[in-house]
Amino acid sequence: MIGLGTIVNCIAVIVGCTVGLFIKKGIAPRFEDIIKKALGLSTMYIGASGALVGLLKINENGRLETQGTMLMIFSLVIGAIIGEALRIEDRLDSMGEKLKKCVKVNDSNSKFVEGFVTNTLVICVGAMAIVGSLNDGISGDASTLYAKSILDGVIGVIFASTLGIGALFAVIPMAIYQGGITLAARFIEKYLTDAMISDMGYVGSILIFAIGVNLAFGKKFKTGNMLPAILVPIVYNLLFVK
What pTM does this model have? 0.86
Q: What is the pLDDT of residue 227?
A: 93
Question: Residue 71 has what pLDDT?
Answer: 94
For the chain, what percent of residues have pLDDT higher than 90? 57
In contact, 29 and 169? CB cutoff 8 Å:
no
Count of structural domains within the chain: 1
> What tens digit of pLDDT does each residue of 16-37 get?
999 999 988 767 777 878 888 8
In this structure, the chain runs to a length of: 242
Q: How far apart are CA 205 and CA 174, in angstroms?
A: 17
The pLDDT score that the predictor gives to residue 110 is 66
Query: Which of the residues in the chain have pLDDT under 50?
Result: 107
Condensed to tens digits (0 to 9), the pLDDT of residues 93-117 reads 999 989 888 887 664 556 899 999 9
Which residue range is the domain that position 57 belongs to? Answer: 4-240
Q: How far apart are the first and last CA of the chain?
A: 34
pLDDT at 115: 92
